[in-house]
Amino acid sequence: MSINANAIIQSIEAEYLKDKDSIPTIHVGDTIKVGVRIQEGGKERVQPFEGTVIAMRHGGINKTITVRRIFQGVGVERVFLIHSPIVANIQVLRRGKVRRAKLYYLRDRVGKATRIKQRFDRPIDTVKTTKSKKKK
């Protein structure tokens, strides 16, 4: 009986993956809002980060998206692990029409040149988010 290493790794990672219902279908060029859990003092809150997906990396539990936005005239990029417990929720706001897998060229563009056309042939998935409330 021979089990390859990849099958063993996938079986271990499977218990840490978020279920497919909680993650919408994301493509490069989409405008999304990512809710990030932040702990300040003894409290925890969810901070939204809204921007354009400029890159995606696949790889099971290591799947990441790079989101770019302009804040006060400065470009800000964040890389999010999709299956991380720090990511509270992901919401697709707008589908983008692009013909590249990586949109790194947007880093060199300023203002209206960074706009991406909207895509209407891919519907936006509505994801059911479950919020767990703490009982007092």
The residues facing 52 across adjacent strands are 31, 68
pLDDT in tens, 91-116: 999 999 999 999 999 999 988 998 89
The answer to whether position 6 is within a domain reads no
The answer to whether position 18 is within a domain reads no
Reported as a pLDDT band with limits 50, 70 and 90, residue 60 is confident
pLDDT of residue 22: 84
The answer to whether position 129 is within a domain reads no
Q: Determine how many CB atoms are found less than 10 A away from the CB of residue 83.
A: 17
The answer to whether position 106 is within a domain reads yes
Reported as a pLDDT band with limits 50, 70 and 90, residue 130 is low
Number of independent structural domains in the chain? 1
The answer to whether position 131 is within a domain reads no
pLDDT at 132 over 90: no
This prediction has a pTM of 0.82
pLDDT in tens, 62-100: 999 999 999 998 999 999 999 999 999 999 999 999 999
pLDDT in tens, 37-47: 999 989 999 99
Phi and psi at residue 10, in whole multiples of 5°?
-65, -35
Residue 44 is part of which domain span? 23-110
Tokens, residue 35: 């809710």
Helix boundaries (H) for 1-136: 5-13
Using an 8 Å Cβ cutoff, are 80 and 74 in contact?
no
Check which CATH number belongs to the domain holding 94 and give it: 2.30.30.790
Q: What does the alpha-carbon distance between residue 64 and residue 56 come to, in Å, rounded to a whole number?
A: 6
State the average pLDDT for the chain.
88
The answer to whether position 4 is within a domain reads no
The answer to whether position 117 is within a domain reads no
The answer to whether position 99 is within a domain reads yes
Residue 68's identity, in one-letter code, is R
Cα angle 40-41-43, degrees, rounded to a multiple of 5: 70
